[in-house]
Structure 1
Amino acid sequence: MNSTLKDSDYSRSVGGAAIGARLRRLSEWLDGDTTRVYAAMGIDFEQRWFGVLNQLALHGPLTVGELAARLKITHVSVSQTRQSLEKAGIIVTDPDAADARRRRLVLTDSGTALVERLKPLWQAFDQAALTLNAEAGEVAAALDRLDDALAQRSLFDRIMDKLATP
């Protein structure tokens, strides 16, 4: 990247201080490209559905709590995705046979057909991501280290410590 372009990119120019902004930007970039791929293939699919749909395809019916734990995201996020997937007719919720208070998310027949249609596309996504990861210097390993550092000590705690230190 030439220095003029780097200078005009505030998030890039401040390095690690803008890590959140950089991650959001990269996420938007990647999500935008995947959305374009689905559209180019004539598939009506929202990228935010992937995690929940993939877990249901791999493991069968799961509760919102089980999905949140597997994906390491909030219950609220899974619930919002569930509502969208239900509205699209891709999943339904059924009572858990072992505990009627709990509800399991289950693929519908059209959801199962969609997953089958998406499998070759998801394989292409995986292959492209692996190539990109290698080209970028094994960025997934750096993200693992970031995950581990945040699990060890939250950004909140780090900021509060900085604010408490004169």
Structure 2
Amino acid sequence: MNFFEEVGKVAIGSRLRILTDKVTEDAAQIYKLYHIDMQPKWFPVFYALVREKEKTITKLARDIGHSHPSVSKIISEMLKKGYVKESKDKADGRRNVVSLSKKGVEISKEIKDQIIDVNAAIEEISAQAQHKLWEAIGEWEFLLEQKTLLRRVIEKKKERDSLKVEIVDYLPEYQEIFRSLNVEWISTYFTMEESDYKALDDPQGYILDKGGFILVALYEGEPLGVCALIKMNDEEYDFELAKMAVSPKAQGKNVGFLLANAIVEKARSLGASKIYLESNTILKPAINLYHKLGFKKVAGKPTPYARCNIQMELAVK
């Protein structure tokens, strides 16, 4: 096991597979020891049918935590062996139920001593072990049900990628990326409008000179995201969060959240009390991001954009 000591926990799947293979190999020999003609992989299905006389394949799969195709294949193999039988569900004639055949019932009686001895052997291993494997497996299963390993790895990747993101103030050299990133997403989902051209063709005059700000997200030095705060002449709102765009190259790198959070902090540092934004519900990732930041839906303000079907606000004080 030196390999696993060196590679560490990232090889947990391989190590568990080796352990599973060892136990399964022994299980096959144990069945022979007790003169039981059964494959180890059949046992969960077989035992479930011992406990409950009949079940649908769907219920069997759900009860033992296997996929429907996997259970269907096992049932087919057990049917050929003559251990189970299929019949129509008495409560619903459209469904088939599976139950032990006469031969299967006989096997269930013969296997009782084996189950007693295997259980005792497992108890012996548990008593000798420092850690309780059975309880640990249960804990891992519960925790992975709450959040899968894939989901956890995605989150860790985002955390690591976040360290490569730098949020900087807008400079004239970023005008082309500010324009191109916004034109890209707007043209993908909608049509460019007059107000878009005003902001994107002259960000200095339309946004910055009027008291607004633009932030740029750099990923490993490359500008991949932009967002603006547009000063509003409004009694209720200080700034509008607008022209937020992130390159498809930055997907999954947490750039959008870091950029939006930075622009909110920028507004807060300027003494703003409320931020306003306009969007469209077809942009689900963006809407989810705004909700994550604490934006709430509002209604009633006039808008220059035909594509706008949702307005939101955030209290920053």
Does residue 111 of structure 2 align to residue 124 of structure 1? no
Does residue 88 of structure 2 align to residue 95 of structure 1? yes
Deviations for 1:15-46, whole angstroms, at most 9, x for unmatched residues?
Answer: 32211111111111001001011123332110
Aligned to 1:79: 72
Deviations for 1:48-94, whole angstroms, at most 9, x for unmatched residues?
Answer: 11001101011110111111111111111111110111010000111
Task: For 1:144 and 1:127, locate their aligned partners in 2 and report how far apart those are by CA, in whole Å.
Answer: 20
2:133 to 139, 142, 146: 139
Task: For 1:36 and 1:15, locate their aligned partners in 2 and report how far apart those are by CA, in whole Å.
Answer: 31
* TM-score, length-scaled by structure 1: 0.89
* Contact preservation (8 Å) 1:12, 1:22: no
User: What's the % identity of the aligned pairs?
Assistant: 27
1:11-50 matched pairs, under 5 angstroms = 11-50=4-43
Does residue 154 of structure 2 align to residue 156 of structure 1? no
Rg comparison, structure with higher value: 2
2:44 to 37, 43, 51: 51
Deviations for 1:79-117, whole angstroms, at most 9, x for unmatched residues?
Answer: 111011101000011110111221111111011001111
* TM-score, length-scaled by structure 2: 0.48
> Where do 5+ consecutive residues of structure 1 fail to align?
1-5
Does residue 102 of structure 2 align to residue 109 of structure 1? yes
Task: For 1:145 and 1:70, locate their aligned partners in 2 and report how far apart those are by CA, in whole Å.
Answer: 18
Aligned to 1:69: 62
Aligned to 1:3: none
Which structure has the highest helix share of the two?
1
What letter is aligned with 1:100? G
Task: For 1:125 and 1:40, locate their aligned partners in 2 and report how far apart those are by CA, in whole Å.
Answer: 12
Task: For 2:57 and 2:68, locate their aligned partners in 1 and report how far apart those are by CA, in whole Å.
Answer: 6
Query: In structure 1, the residue corresponding to 2:111 is in which secondary structure?
Result: helix
* Contact preservation (8 Å) 1:95, 1:101: yes
Tell me which moved more, 154-163 or 113-122. Answer: 154-163
Alignment coverage as a number of residue pairs: 159
